[in-house]
Amino acid sequence: MDISKFRQFGKKIICIGRNYKALAAEQGNPIPKSPIVFFKPTTSYITPGDDIKIPPGCKEFFHEVELGVVIGSGGKNVSEDEAMDLVAGYSCCLDMTCWDFQCAAKADGQPWALAKGFDTACPVGDFISKDKVKDLSDVRIWLKIDGTTKQDSSTSDMIFTVPKIISYLSQYFTLEPGDLILTGSPAGAGPVASGETIEAGLEVNGETVSTIKYPVK
Ligand SMILES: O=C(O)/C=C/C(=O)CC(=O)C(=O)O
Ligand SMILES: [Mg+2]
């Protein structure tokens, strides 16, 4: 498991919320006018062989499979045309979420840090080099729990494309090599319980480019 491209720098995990049309509809949210941005601490990283751990007090623990974009060269105020030059590669990632904590925080206008940033909240997969994914516009992204499909969608449903996200973020945050950008969850984000096992993957033109497997404890 080569995560050197993540932890070697381990600068930022920047997450985009509500970036798939079908999930926004499913969760009763309006289509955002600009990307919804939040962070996960690098202490939330786990790699294959580790267990996802449900934080104390969480009663609604949700899975979200996401396309992770690994930044290879830094930049600030990058245009959409230049954005992909910053990308080193990708990874199949999970944005594990304490949904009950998140709903309470949203209702009270509070930040999502506890809902999204706890230890083990960012399981990642192998690093996929950029040349393995020639076209980002239609990458199949799926997730199963104990073999039952829960999420199965495509990046074609994204509201903001990867170049748009990179360009937008670079206006506010200097992007650095090793940064990871989680680009949002497709429809089907939902509960997972202790004792169940999550499998997820990315597929390009019918070829699997990455799969991950994580037990939930
Ligand atoms: O309720 C919302 O607006 C968004 C909830 C999320 O969990 C955002 C994401 O992490 C996502 O859409 O991937
Ligand atoms: Mg998410």
Q: ipTM score here?
A: 0.96
Q: How many CB atoms lie within 10 A of CB 171?
A: 9
| Whole-number Å distance between alpha carbons of 95 and 80 | 25
Across residues 46-65, what is the average pLDDT? 96
pTM of the model: 0.95
Q: Is 96 helix (H, G, I), strand (E, B) or coil?
A: coil
Tell me: pLDDT of 8 over 80: no
pLDDT, the chain, mean: 93
Name residue 213's amino acid. K
The amino acid at 103: C
User: How far is the C-alpha of 62 from the C-alpha of 99, rounded, in Å?
Assistant: 6
Ligand 1, from 40, 95, 181: best to mutate by most atoms within 8 Å of Cβ?
95
Give yes or no for residue 1 having a pLDDT over 50: no
Q: Quick: pLDDT tens for 122-151.
A: 999 998 999 999 899 999 999 999 999 999
Please tell me what DSSP assigns to residue 181. Answer: E
Ligand 1 contacts CB of residue 73 (under 6 A): no
Judged by average pLDDT, the poorest of 8-12, 73-77, 90-94, 155-159 is 8-12
Residue located nearest, by CA, to atom 11 of ligand 1: 17
Q: What's the pLDDT tens digit per position in 148-200?
A: 999 999 999 999 999 999 999 999 999 998 999 999 999 999 999 999 999 99
Q: Which residues contact 213 (CB under 8 A, 6 or more apart)?
A: 48, 197, 198, 199
Q: Which residues contact 215 (CB under 8 A, 6 or more apart)?
A: 51, 52, 196, 197, 198
Q: pLDDT tens digits, residue range 32-53?
A: 999 999 999 999 999 999 999 9
**The predicted structure's pLDDT at residue 26:** 85
Ligand 1 site-directed mutation target among 21, 97, 118, 160, most atoms within 8 Å of CB: 97
Distance CA(71)–CA(142), nearest Å, equals 23
- Measured from the alpha carbon of residue 62, the closest ligand is 1
